[in-house]
Amino acid sequence: MITSTFCMLPGVGLRTERQFWGQGAWTWDGFLSTRDLRGLSLARKSLFDHRITEAQERFTRQDSRYFARTLSARHHWRVYEWLRERAVYLDIETDSFGQITVVGLYGQGRYTALIRNESLALLSLREALSAYDLLVTFCGSTFDLPMLRAHFSDLPLDQPHIDLCGIGRQLGYRGGLKAIERQMGITRLPAIQGFSGDDAVRQWNRWRHQRDEQARDLLLAYNEADCVNLQPLADAFYCHLVVASGLEEIRLKGRTDSVGE
């Protein structure tokens, strides 16, 4: 529902956005076609028209990075429906010393693991991430992305980013990813049931020091689940947020208007 979003406008928050919707400006097109809006001077309306026209152009050009810059982080979830097919679900693993061992990426139905001392390097990571226009993580704001920036200072992480941990708390969910998965009915393979980050560290150590292939397989299976399971979680959270924000009403209104036409 990005085309019904006005929070990228200077000084516009949720309350003002709802006021726009209440006056019939349900979308960017509706805003531009409305000459006068209560509470907006002609000069400010002109400024907003210019900003919205620019947003429309960027949207048409599929420029997700523009919205990463103009929307505050707490509103990045609004691009999810638009960018879902170009989203990457990301999770990293680390060793006992805080060094990255695995960067897992799940996007477009495919899981890729970049592994330390094998395929993990700035060039390979940059190339892998460049194919995606949206990052989705769980605790990525406080762990995954800061760790990636610390290890790869030249890595451009400029896509919009949705951190499902913060959204989950906003929606009333408590606990880590595995606890929320259980609440949502999202399952994992029996071989990695009950696995934690500490187990991932132990599997890495077994692989690194003993070349234990089974340990390597378990580590990657665990990381893959951490990535793949973010997609159904993001889908569910997005639907909750659309309703909670009032955007579902806008969606229904748009359908009603289309039928009326």
**pLDDT value, residue 259:** 33
Smallest CA-to-CA distance from 25 within 51, 5, 50, 54 is with 5
The structural domains of the chain, ordered by start, are: 2-61 (1.10.150), 82-237 (3.30.420.10)
Residue type (1 letter), 223: N
> What is the rounded CA–CA span in Å between residue 63 and residue 85?
14
- Listed in sequence order, the residues at least 6 apart from 137 whose beta carbon sits closer than 8 Å to its beta carbon are 89, 90, 91, 144, 145, 161, 162, 163, 164, 165, 230
**pLDDT value, residue 247:** 81
Q: Are 252 and 258 in contact (CB under 8 A)?
A: no
pLDDT in tens, 84-128: 999 999 999 999 999 999 999 999 999 999 999 999 999 999 999
**pLDDT value, residue 249:** 78
Using DSSP, state whether 62 is helix, strand or coil. coil
**pLDDT value, residue 245:** 87
pLDDT in tens, 210-229: 999 999 999 999 999 999 99
List the chain residues with pLDDT less than 70. Answer: 251, 253-261
Length of the chain: 261
Give whole-number Cα distances, 229 to 38, 111, 172, in Å. Answer: 44, 11, 19
**pLDDT value, residue 248:** 80
